[in-house]
């Protein structure tokens, strides 16, 4: 069980820090590694911070998270992954492979919302994630169809959100529904829900 946390905040608003309580809770879930990656959206309207703590269960080494590539004008893609991918695109993920790395390789190539969703629809197993796609200037987050990994959301003033696999006593947290994948566009500030099975996209007014 790993810990994930992300802040997507308008640059004009105060940027929330991780409380000592939440920091310790995240470390308790992933004692093998603690990592953070900062990003800024195109045009500088949004600031983003991604945090992952790792409990190494697969592969022959500790895979540092968040997974990211330092490329592009905004710094590159970022993936916070908490899951156990059994199969991907119909193929069994080998016991010496890291499931997060296998999934991230495909996500990096995505150039449309439908391609991103195609990756997530191809994952079999329990999982929760936060993924920043620099090419699309969009942050995606969600849980598997059965909601077997925890993911919480807290809304910020100005349209931002805080996401985490575990909550603290700061603000009002709600469980992310497992009815699809959610995303926030950093260009228009609009949040959407993307269906797991049917092709479609619904405007989500609650974020």
Residue pair 67/56 in contact by the 8 Å Cβ criterion:
no
- Report CA dihedral (117, 187, 44, 80) to the nearest 10 degrees: -20
Catalytic, 80? Answer no
Helices (H), ranges, 10-109: 20-29, 99-107
| Residues ≥6 apart with Cβ < 8 Å to 113 | 136, 138, 183, 194, 201
Which amino acids are annotated catalytic? 2
């Amino acid at each position: 069980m790993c810990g994930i946390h992300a802040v997507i905040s308008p640059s004009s608003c105060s940027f929330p820090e991780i409380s000592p309580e939440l920091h310790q809770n995240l470390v308790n879930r992933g004692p093998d590694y603690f990592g953070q990656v900062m990003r800024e959206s195109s045009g500088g309207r949004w600031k983003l911070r991604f945090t992952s703590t790792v409990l190494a269960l697969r592969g022959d080494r500790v895979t540092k998270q968040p997974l990211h590539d330092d490329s592009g004008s905004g710094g590159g893609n970022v993936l916070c992954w908490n899951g156990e991918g059994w199969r991907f695109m119909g193929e069994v993920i080998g016991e010496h492979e890291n499931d997060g790395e296998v999934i991230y390789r495909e996500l990096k190539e995505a150039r449309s919302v439908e391609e991103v969703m195609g990756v997530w629809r191809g994952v079999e197993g329990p999982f929760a994630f936060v993924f920043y796609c620099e090419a699309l200037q969009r942050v995606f987050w969600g849980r598997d169809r059965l909601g077997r990994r925890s993911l919480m959301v807290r809304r910020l003033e100005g349209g931002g959100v805080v996401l985490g696999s575990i909550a603290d006593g700061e603000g009002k947290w709600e469980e992310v529904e497992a009815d699809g994948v959610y995303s926030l566009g950093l260009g228009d500030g609009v949040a959407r829900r993307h269906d797991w099975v049917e092709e479609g996209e619904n405007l989500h007014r609650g974020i």
